[in-house]
Copies of this chain bind each other. A is one copy, B any other.
Amino acid sequence: MQLQAKYVALALLSKRPMTGYEIKKEFEGAISFFFDGSYGSVYPTLKNLEKEGCIEKRTIVQQDRPNKNEFSITDAGREVLAQYFEQPVDADSVRSDICMRLFFGDKAGDGELRNWMEQSIGQHEAKLAKLQNLHDAYRLQMPKHQLLSLTVGLQYHKGQRDAMLECIRMLDSFERGEQ
């Protein structure tokens, strides 16, 4: 059983009822470290979950804004979520373009390799800043397990940024002929 939008949505709805729009917002916060999904995955996922009886829709009419569809989890949904948590932990899956480029970058010059690594460093630092903000802003109200998850995310981006910096140093030393 792998991590998919379905379970993340269900887990969010187990805290409180939400709209698709709000779920997507959550995907962009602390969750963005371990999962990401677009509207194109959120709405179809909700539709399926509703069809399966895992969630229920309630339409909230608004005059000044577009109407909302608010979903709440059902007992069946809670059961599906519980079954997910009973499964063995699935290994993390990583897809890394930068590593692909490092691995196969024999035809790229050192300048290009360096440029790629700097792009990657920028990406990790942006995410780091985001997670750090969340951490600083909500540390005190956040349930302890959420803090644990954030810790892992912070570690990941720090570790990858540092690994890139280390690689740049390695490149430098290669250039100086210290093979």
Residues of A within 8 A of B (CB): 2-3, 7-8, 11, 14, 30-31, 33-36, 85, 88-108, 113, 116, 119-120, 123, 127, 143-149, 151-153, 155-156, 158-160, 162-164, 166-167, 170-171, 174, 179
Contacts and interface: CB of A to CB of B under 8 A. Distances in A.
Given A103-B146, A116-B89, A174-B144, A94 B163 contact: no
Contacts of A7: 100
B123 A91 contact: yes
B104 A14 contact: yes
A36 B127 CA distance: 24
Contact of A92 (B35, B91, B98): B98
Number of copies: 2
Nearest to A7: B100
A8 to B, nearest CB: 7
A71 B126 CA distance: 41
30 contacts: A7-B100, A8-B100, A11-B103, A31-B103, A35-B95, A89-B97, A89-B98, A89-B116, A89-B120, A91-B127, A92-B94, A92-B95, A92-B96, A93-B94, A99-B149, A99-B152, A102-B149, A103-B149, A104-B145, A106-B145, A113-B145, A144-B170, A147-B170, A148-B167, A155-B163, A155-B166, A156-B156, A158-B159, A159-B159, A159-B160
